[in-house]
Amino acid sequence: MIKVGDQLPTATLMEYVEVEGNGCSIGPNPVDVQKAAAGKTIALFAVPGAFTPTCSAKHVPGYVEQAEALKAAGVDEIWCLAVNDAFVMGAWARDQKTAGKVRMLADGDAAFAKAVGLTLDLNGKGLGLRSNRYSMLVKDGKVATLNVEAPGKFEVSDAATLLTQAKS
């Protein structure tokens, strides 16, 4: 499992881009994790899945509500990761009104979740391999803080916890 002081892994996430080009939405756009995090402070949180109850009712809304406070505490960007495709993450972003506040990044094949050692096997519930719920503060591509939830819990990866850590 990734730990404080580790560099983020080499991975490519996908982000649905609403902007239109040549009459069509641009759609899924690759995001090189290391390049995107370089020189920035990132509040990164991962959830088991888009549109799932806790993720939609508590986790994402908390980061949307705390976006300005996190930025005032020195966070450049907020990233939400889930093992879903970019189209689902784009729809979830619209539903959660994350525009300009939280980047909704798809880890479609769970490559990032595997690389950081934070997968969650939900095959028994028909959901396949997912990401565990966690949050981390990343500074210039390195993990500064890490908050990993026990399966089924939502106690330490919330926006308020990461905000407190960003302020310290």
Strands (E), 123-167: 128-131, 134-139, 142-148
Strands (E), 7-131: 12-21, 24-32, 41-47, 77-82, 103-106, 119-122, 128-131
- Those residues whose C-beta lies under 8 Å from the C-beta of residue 168, and which sit 6 or more positions away, are none
Question: Residues 119, 148, 99, CA angle at the centre, nearest 5°?
Answer: 85
> Is 55 an active-site residue?
yes
Q: Residues 42, 55, 70, 78: which is the catalytic one?
A: 55
Q: How far apart are CA 152 and CA 106, in angstroms?
A: 21
Q: How far apart are CA 129 and CA 148, in angstroms?
A: 17
> Quick one: which of 115, 119, 114 has its CA closest to 134?
119
**Which residues belong to the active site?**
55
